[in-house]
Structure 1
Amino acid sequence: MNDYMIRATAADSSIRAFAITSKHLVQEALDHHGTSPVMTAALGRLLSAGLMMGSMMKGEKDLLTLQIACDGPAGGITVTADSHGNAKGYVNNPNVDVPLKYAGKLDVGAALGPGVLSVIRDLGLREPYVGQCALQTGEIAEDLTYYFATSEQVPSVVALGVLVDHDGVRQAGGFIIQLMPFTEDEVIDRLEKRIGEIDSITTMLERGMTPEQILEEVLGDFGLEITEKMPCRFHCDCSKERISGALATLNKKDLQELIDDGEDVEIKCHFCNRAYRFTTDDLKEIKDR
């Protein structure tokens, strides 16, 4: 099954929902960064969330950044997504190894430790919108649930999961369910009860359930209506030209020092680890520009 996500409504549009299967793009992130199992899970969860939240934006060029700054060994995670199903991300320390939370359960919270979650929406305005909250558990889904409730005043349920084995990423995906301000109390009570009855997201993915089937499992009794299906992927738009632009922001003294060293300079993209080599002639051209 290729990676994709869906948007849906239920209960006469008083509920909106998103679901994603993201196994292949999380595997690609693992391939790029060589992350340990626990950091693969952490990055994969944030990539899945970023893609679903990115699809909430309206503008063609809108960008969403999810950033976790933390005191744990992970050091932090950054994910950027657009409204077209593209996302990229990296972790500050890809090689973290912490004990399992319990048998078969990776302890993402221990890898992150105390920290802050920032949600940055660049909507093409003079200043981006920035919302923040303290990490509650470090398990990411719970932290985003808390963020939506406190920073955006949108009651939400966020479920994210990544299963990793010795061959790589076995399953990845999640869902976000949100209540609109006009949702009736009876609908809220029924939804809370239903959420308490369903299996975990990783269990549903292991059963081979699609995003449509996952939302049907949760919202099938609420008049679920699928409104959009969108492919998604790990995509980094870096290039030598972009890196050249970043180098051009250095002052001339720093550039001249690089030139005087007489060595080629190799710069890696944070998001995909692709390496770009600049010769002294390249650096001279950048300095002259």
Structure 2
Amino acid sequence: MLPTPAPSRLARPHRAPRRVAAPLLLGLVGLIVWEVVARSGAVPAFFLPAPTAVAVRLGEDLATGGLLGFVLPTLVEAALGCLVGAVVALPLGYLVFRSHRASAALEPYIAASQAVPAVALAPLLMLWIGYGLVPIVVLCALLVFFPILLATVLGLRTLDPDVVDAARLDGASGWDLLRHIELPLALPSLLTGLRNGFTLSVTGAVVGEFVMGGQGLGMLVATRADSADTTGLFSALVVLCVLAMTVYGVLNLIERRLEQR
């Protein structure tokens, strides 16, 4: 019996148009329904402006150049928070994987730390640290800590034991085993944790700006909400969604490139 040929990588590009077309089609349908509902008068424009009105306002905001100035602070806060969270979560995840005692001692507290919502942590950080960049970065780090830690532990615990045992028979241990065997094999899971963590970090930056001040999109959203500028609020939310989707897509692309090496 002839072996079944493995699926060729050449077939993957043919899936790309469908991966792009499906969300675009769904988004288009959603926009059409939104436009029809908004134009029908069933919902007052104060509560639900039409997509075309939001698009016009977004164009005005971009033309003045003021809106993009709010993107960079939020992105910097999210990046720093994700970096700090990863610096703590990655080695701690390896410790939980390697040591049964550490796993038994730390896992209940790590899980309990996720029961506290970010909105509740923000006022505490404001009291403890103050306002500005530092407390927002700490809040982002707390949000991304658990997903990155969980992805690290999961990626290491699902390694092929035969490969690890073979490496140990060849003399690999300690740092060499981690560098040449465990880390490369667990890399897809680690990258997934970092990708999801960065997306959460954007949310943390916005929540932090609501409570602790700042100069990013969160402050813009809060300001426009206070002034009942619904159309402007939707315009800022669109930019925020595009930012999160762009970060997610770029990290996803980096993950795929690294996996192909």
User: Per the shorter chain, which TM-score range?
Assistant: under 0.3
Which has more radius of gyration?
2
Q: Give the structure with the higher percent helix.
A: 2
TM-score (norm 1): 0.23
Q: Give the structure with the higher percent strand.
A: 1
TM-score (norm 2): 0.25
